């Protein structure tokens, strides 16, 4: 349905969005690349000239670099695993007939509405505090010694907090997909004598494949750049320094823009590797 | 005025040429039907005329004025889509009023035209309903209403009846024909159903793979099909086509005889055969007769012709109605 | 399910689902409850659940300490402004991609989405400099622009998926009826896509409301929204559970209420239009 006229109109109407996003991507990006080749200390002399690849070498050879990549991937992977698995279970549960389904659904979605700063603060103080936190009370109730969550099990704690925020999203998408499953197909499988587990494995799970892809794609986009949860809880200590946070510290806390920018370029490369990988999958799945 | 001329019009989608160079003349006030099997380019041709697609080359003129690169709205044509394409969020009245509103017409005049269209189309009682609350036939009428209030130079219909059930289809067919009589405006009507084409058209354009196979009045096409394709496409049940020795006897590669031009007898006739299936419709009986030399032949007889599976019968074709075709499928006259 | 389900099974489902639902909701519930306790009761051992002396004192203190209304107003303006601006830019773009698709449409869409994967921290300093240069550091307009840009790909994607469900013939009918492109979008497409547009607006409003990287790093006193308001309670001297809870409740209440009132659109929106 396209005439020359509508095609040129279409190009014109895409232009603002494309130009804005292109500018948003290219302008700061090229500045970052520029800074990354400079010794640039805003508080201590400003632009101190070109240094070639020094910043890149220093950033990677810093002892904090690889642990930060590892922490980033661990958080993204951990949260994805938890939210997808629990999301599938919850979606199947919520799809069953029950009383008050609407209210349960609201309860389950609610964490998504909570801003990350609030959820991090609430979890840190009111639940994970080793003295007054609710979890400490529970542990004491069972006669166990309270855990210092954010230092002894820092990674697990952060993954828990972030998973709590993203579980509603995964559940909802998966629930929508479960609801679109043709129940006759399941009944046919039941008639064929397929046990519950096989029905899940061969019929339900393949049906959810596209929804799971969407969950993984969208969550990865957001999880790669989580910031507030770490900023508010551990401030990057106890092995929770993600790449994002490491760069943030280099730029803002040590005021070393050159070094931070080199880190930024690394982060962009990492994000692109993940992006290409994801786009491959999603591109295929998007056609349907 | 509503004459439309297409000269050397072509249309390609990427590599694929859907419409090869095509010339066509449509006169003012004519009811023209484009007919052909599905996928042959009927909709594409209609959309080219409407301006919803650009021609790849060639020229379209409306009332003698070059309209090739005119925007759809400027061509003074109205279109009724297969899916009706009603605006679901507007009432029937708003739907019909939309083109008038877009034209910035004076509200009093709008009211008058809407009331008139609603009366003509029996929509007065539904005027405040949404399309979702209407039956298929009523939706169809709203779509037509939206087209007629504009008083266009020509109407374009793209398979407007294909979403209706059989009974309703016959009714709407008559209504559209009647509308044409009343308005005397040019109508171009696309269908894959040759019955619709035969019953409604002043002029039929038979298309195959974007080519015009023949243009003519329904009777012309019925009586003098230009080639095998038209012969097989127009008429129901289909014309019997026979090739081989029997055709050679008539100096042709293929001969054709319509089912209604064969007389059946239990005693004697030109060709002998065995009755395969006999369909008794009441008014007529259609029999499929198997003959060793000719293959399957369909014959129409009167309704109470007593005949059943396995009977041996004799067929006599009316020689004056015999069609002959050469090796290229063209009619020999 | 076409089959009748036994009441027993339904009861078990109900109990299970409510238990899980309440467990997930519990942190929020606990925060709201704590906000009505005195500081002593908030840290009492063992914790009290419902039977305490309900008080509104914490809300008064929080309001006095930090001007809640100003943060709230900033949040509303920033989230609302960036969402509306985003939708205004995205509707024409999504129209183009949905109704005049070309070979490159999918690539463009994926590219747009990929700009969301650019780590914000990688460009924090350049943006900081640009903001200073244009004098929009710690201004609402600056944040509106940035949040609009980071959410634009998602808005376009969602609108695109909703628009694609609308039959192109209806838009063509409008074109035949003499509607200009603007009228076609305004009078035909937009009203038909209202549910999808509403979902898009709601979801992106929430995303913008909760955004915490740019809002924390690009604001100070003037334009700070609720994310910054609550961050000020993370410093130790502000560490009073009841007041923290009151502040938290105040920060999330508007969105929770909005969420409850527009549940249907939100559920639809939460799937980003990607799953039907
Ligand atoms: N937008 C398009 N892009 C590519 N091919 C198309 C397009 N529209 C139609 N076609 C092709 O053109 C041919 C004719 O289509 P159409 O005009 O819709 O046929 P009809 O209406 O006779 O059934 C078909 O082979 C169809 O696949
Ligand atoms: Mg067609």
Instruction: Say whether B83 and C167 touch across the interface (CB within 8 A).
Output: yes
Supply the mean pLDDT for chain B.
92
Question: Is A172 in contact with C272 (CB distance < 8 Å)?
Answer: no
Q: Is the pLDDT of residue A249 over 70?
A: yes
Q: Alpha-carbon distance B166 to B150, whole Å?
A: 29
Question: What pLDDT is recorded for position C2?
Answer: 45
The whole-number average pLDDT for the span A96-100 is 86
The confidence band for B290, taking pLDDT boundaries of 50, 70 and 90, is very high
Q: Alpha-carbon distance A263 to A249, whole Å?
A: 11
Instruction: Say whether C170 and B87 touch across the interface (CB within 8 A).
Output: yes
For chain C, percent of residues with pLDDT exceeding 90: 33
Q: Is the pLDDT of residue B259 over 90?
A: yes
List the single residue in A10, A184, A228 with the smallest CB-CB distance to C96: A10
Supply the mean pLDDT for chain C.
85
Question: Is B18 in contact with B34 (CB distance < 8 Å)?
Answer: no
Q: Alpha-carbon distance B127 to C232, whole Å?
A: 60
Q: Alpha-carbon distance B310 to C209, whole Å?
A: 82
Q: Collapsing DSSP states into helix, strand and coil, what is residue B25? A: strand
Q: Is the pLDDT of residue A284 over 70?
A: no
Cα–ligand 1 centroid distance for B35 (angstroms): 15
Instruction: Say whether C117 and A105 touch across the interface (CB within 8 A).
Output: no
- What domains lie within chain C, and their CATH numbers? 7-57 (no CATH), 67-270 (1.10.3720.10)
Q: Is the pLDDT of residue A206 over 50?
A: yes
The whole-number average pLDDT for the span B274-298 is 89
**Tell me: the pLDDT tens digits for A117-173?**
899 888 988 888 777 778 878 888 887 777 777 777 888 889 999 999 999 989 988
Question: What pLDDT is recorded for position A237?
Answer: 77
Q: How many CA atoms lie within 13 A of A28 on its CB side?
A: 25
Q: Collapsing DSSP states into helix, strand and coil, what is residue A128? A: coil
What are the φ/ψ torsions at residue C45 (nearest 5 degrees)?
-125, 115
The whole-number average pLDDT for the span A64-85 is 91
Q: Is the pLDDT of residue C274 over 90?
A: no
Supply the mean pLDDT for chain A.
83
The whole-number average pLDDT for the span C115-127 is 82
The confidence band for C3, taking pLDDT boundaries of 50, 70 and 90, is low
Question: What pLDDT is recorded for position B197?
Answer: 93
List the single residue in C169, C187, C194 with the smallest CB-CB distance to B85: C169
Contacts of C103 (CB under 8 A, 6+ apart): none
Looking at domain A65-240, which of 3.90.226.10, 3.90.1300.10, 1.10.10.60, 1.10.3720.10 is its CATH number? Answer: 1.10.3720.10
The confidence band for A219, taking pLDDT boundaries of 50, 70 and 90, is confident
Strands B31-35 and B203-208: parallel
The confidence band for C10, taking pLDDT boundaries of 50, 70 and 90, is confident
The confidence band for C1, taking pLDDT boundaries of 50, 70 and 90, is very low
Residue B303: C-alpha distances to residues B280, B285, B288, B306 (Å): 6, 5, 15, 8
Question: What pLDDT is recorded for position A63?
Answer: 79
CA angle B220-B58-B83, nearest 5°?
Answer: 65
Q: Please state, as a whole number, how many other Cβ atoms lie within 10 Å of the Cβ of residue C81.
A: 18
Q: Alpha-carbon distance B183 to B78, whole Å?
A: 14
Q: Which is more confidently placed, B10 or A233?
A: B10
Q: Alpha-carbon distance A115 to A113, whole Å?
A: 6
Instruction: Say whether C92 and A24 touch across the interface (CB within 8 A).
Output: no
Question: What pLDDT is recorded for position C5?
Answer: 63
Q: Alpha-carbon distance A95 to A179, whole Å?
A: 7
Residue labelled with tokens 């986009």: A221
Question: What pLDDT is recorded for position A227?
Answer: 82
Question: What pLDDT is recorded for position A288?
Answer: 46
Question: Is A164 in contact with C27 (CB distance < 8 Å)?
Answer: yes
Domain-wise residue ranges, chain A:
65-240
Question: What pLDDT is recorded for position A285?
Answer: 61
Question: What pLDDT is recorded for position A223?
Answer: 87
Q: Which residues pair with B212 in a beta bridge?
A: B207
Q: Alpha-carbon distance A42 to A257, whole Å?
A: 7
**Tell me: the pLDDT tens digits for B157-213?**
999 998 888 888 898 899 999 999 999 999 999 999 999 999 999 999 999 999 999
Q: Is the pLDDT of residue C30 over 70?
A: yes
Q: Where in chain B is the domain with CATH 2.40.50.140?
A: 242-325
**For ligand 1, which residues put their CB under 6 angstroms from it?**
B 13, 18, 38-44
Contacts of A15 (CB under 8 A, 6+ apart): none
Q: Which is more confidently placed, C53 or A164?
A: A164
Cα–ligand 2 centroid distance for B41 (angstroms): 7
* Lookup: tokens for B108: 């009093």
CATH 3.40.50.1400 fits B4-230, yes or no: no
State the ipTM, two decimals.
0.85
What are the φ/ψ torsions at residue B299 (nearest 5 degrees)?
-130, 135
Gyration radius of chain C over CA positions? 23
Q: Is the pLDDT of residue B216 over 90?
A: yes
Contacts of A167 (CB under 8 A, 6+ apart): A82, A83, A86, A87, A90, A108, A111, C24
- Inform me whether the C-beta atom of residue C166 falls under 8 Å from chain B C-beta atoms: no
Length of chain A: 288
Nearest CA to ligand 1 atom 9: B44
Q: Which residues of B touch A4 (CB under 8 A)?
A: 54, 69
Q: Alpha-carbon distance C70 to A173, whole Å?
A: 35
Question: Is B201 in contact with B208 (CB distance < 8 Å)?
Answer: no
Q: Is the pLDDT of residue C238 over 60?
A: no
Q: Positive or negative CA dihedral for C72, C75, C79, C81?
A: positive
CA angle B131-B172-B224, nearest 5°?
Answer: 140
Q: Which residues of B touch A3 (CB under 8 A)?
A: 51-54
Among A140-149, C84-93, C136-145, where is mean pLDDT lowest?
Answer: A140-149
For chain A, percent of residues with pLDDT exceeding 90: 16
Cα–ligand 1 centroid distance for B41 (angstroms): 6
Looking at domain B242-325, which of 2.40.10.330, 3.40.50.300, 3.20.20.80, 2.40.50.140 is its CATH number? Answer: 2.40.50.140
Cα–ligand 2 centroid distance for B52 (angstroms): 14
**Tell me: the pLDDT tens digits for B78-97?**
999 999 999 999 999 999 99
The confidence band for C38, taking pLDDT boundaries of 50, 70 and 90, is confident
Question: Is A187 in contact with A204 (CB distance < 8 Å)?
Answer: no
List the single residue in C90, C181, C252 with the smallest CB-CB distance to A17: C90
Question: What pLDDT is recorded for position A248?
Answer: 84
- Structure pTM? 0.86
Question: What pLDDT is recorded for position C4?
Answer: 61
């Amino acid at each position: 349905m396209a005439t020359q006229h509508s095609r040129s109109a279409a190009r014109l109407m895409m232009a603002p969005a494309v130009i804005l996003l292109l500018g948003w991507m290219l302008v700061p990006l090229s500045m970052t690349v520029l800074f990354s080749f400079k010794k640039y200390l805003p508080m201590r002399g400003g632009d101190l000239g070109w240094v070639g690849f020094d910043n890149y070498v220093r950033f990677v050879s810093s002892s904090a670099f690889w642990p930060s990549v590892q922490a980033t991937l661990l958080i993204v992977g951990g949260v994805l695993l938890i939210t997808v698995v629990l999301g599938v279970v919850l979606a199947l549960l919520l799809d069953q007939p029950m009383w008050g389904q609407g209210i349960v659904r609201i309860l389950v979605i609610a964490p998504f509405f909570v801003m990350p700063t609030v959820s991090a603060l609430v979890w840190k103080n009111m639940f994970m505090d080793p003295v007054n936190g609710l979890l400490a009370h529970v542990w004491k109730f069972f006669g166990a010694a309270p855990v210092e969550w954010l230092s002894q099990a820092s990674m697990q704690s952060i993954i828990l907090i972030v998973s709590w925020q993203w579980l509603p999203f995964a559940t909802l998408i998966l629930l929508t997909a479960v609801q679109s499953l043709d129940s006759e197909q399941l009944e046919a499988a039941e008639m064929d004598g397929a046990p519950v587990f096989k029905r899940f494995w061969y019929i339900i799970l393949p049906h959810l494949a596209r929804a799971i892809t969407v969950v993984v794609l969208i969550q990865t986009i957001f999880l790669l750049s989580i910031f507030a949860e770490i900023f508010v809880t551990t401030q990057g200590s106890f092995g929770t320094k993600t790449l994002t946070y490491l760069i943030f510290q280099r730029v803002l806390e040590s005021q070393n823009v050159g070094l931070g920018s080199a880190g930024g370029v690394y982060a962009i490369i990492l994000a692109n590797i993940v992006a290409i990988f994801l786009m491959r999958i999603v591109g295929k799945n998007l056609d349907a | 005025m509503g004459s439309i001329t297409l000269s050397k019009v072509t249309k390609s989608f990427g590599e694929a040429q859907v419409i090869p160079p095509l010339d066509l003349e449509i006169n003012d006030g004519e009811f023209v039907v484009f007919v052909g099997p599905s996928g042959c380019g009927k909709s594409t041709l209609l959309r080219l005329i409407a301006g919803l697609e650009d021609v790849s080359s060639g020229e379209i003129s409306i009332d003698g004025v070059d309209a090739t690169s005119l925007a759809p709205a400027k061509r003074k044509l109205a279109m009724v889509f297969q899916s009706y394409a009603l605006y679901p969020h507007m009432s029937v009245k708003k739907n019909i009023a939309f083109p008038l509103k877009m034209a910035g017409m004076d509200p009093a005049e709008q009211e008058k035209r809407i009331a008139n269209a609603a009366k003509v189309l029996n929509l007065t009682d539904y005027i405040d309903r949404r399309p979702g609350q209407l039956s298929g036939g009523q939706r169809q009428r709203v779509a037509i209403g939206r087209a007629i209030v504009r008083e266009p130079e020509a109407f374009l219909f793209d398979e407007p009846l294909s979403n209706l059930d059989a009974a309703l289809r016959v009714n709407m067919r008559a209504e559209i024909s009647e509308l044409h009589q009343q308005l005397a405006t040019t109508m171009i009507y696309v269908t894959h159903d040759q019955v619709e084409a035969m019953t409604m058209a002043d002029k039929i354009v038979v298309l195959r793979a974007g080519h015009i196979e023949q243009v003519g009045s329904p009777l012309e096409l019925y009586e003098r099909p230009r080639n095998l394709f038209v012969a097989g496409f127009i008429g129901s049940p289909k014309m019997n086509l026979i090739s081989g020795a029997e055709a050679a006897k008539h100096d042709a590669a293929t001969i054709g005889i319509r089912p209604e031009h064969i007389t059946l007898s239990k005693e004697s006739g030109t060709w002998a055969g065995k009755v395969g299936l006999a369909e008794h419709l009441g008014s007529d009986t259609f029999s499929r007769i198997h003959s060793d030399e000719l293959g399957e032949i369909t014959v129409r007889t009167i309704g109470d012709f007593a005949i059943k599976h396995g009977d041996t019968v004799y067929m006599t074709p009316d020689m004056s109605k015999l069609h002959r075709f050469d090796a290229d499928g063209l009619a020999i006259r | 399910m076409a089959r009748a389900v036994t009441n027993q099974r339904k009861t078990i489902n109900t109990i299970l689902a409510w238990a899980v639902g309440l467990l997930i909701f519990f942190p929020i519930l606990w925060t709201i409850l704590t906000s009505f306790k005195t500081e002593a009761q908030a840290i009492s051992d063992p914790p009290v659940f419902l039977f305490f002396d309900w008080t509104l004192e914490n809300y008064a203190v929080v309001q006095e300490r930090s001007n809640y209304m100003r943060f709230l107003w900033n949040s509303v303006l920033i989230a609302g402004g960036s969402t509306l601006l985003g939708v205004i830019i995205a509707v024409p773009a999504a129209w183009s991609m949905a109704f005049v698709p070309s070979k490159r449409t999918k690539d463009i869409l994926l590219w747009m989405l990929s700009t969301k994967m650019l780590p914000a921290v990688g460009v924090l300093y350049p943006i900081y400099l640009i903001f200073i240069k244009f004098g929009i550091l710690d201004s609402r307009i600056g944040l509106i622009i940035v949040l609009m840009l980071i959410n634009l790909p998602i808005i376009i994607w969602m609108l695109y998926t909703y628009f694609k469900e609308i039959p192109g013939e209806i838009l063509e009918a409008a074109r035949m009826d003499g509607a200009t492109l603007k009228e076609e979008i305004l009078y035909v497409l937009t009203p038909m896509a209202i549910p999808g547009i509403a979902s898009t607006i709601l979801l992106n409003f929430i995303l913008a409301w909760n955004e915490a990287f740019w809002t924390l790093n690009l604001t100070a006193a003037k334009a700070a929204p609720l994310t910054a308001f609550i961050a000020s309670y993370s410093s130790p001297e502000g560490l009073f559970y009841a007041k923290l809870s009151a502040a938290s409740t105040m920060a999330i209440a508007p969105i929770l209420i909005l969420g409850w009132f527009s549940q249907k659109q939100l559920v639809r929106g939460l799937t980003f239009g990607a799953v039907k």
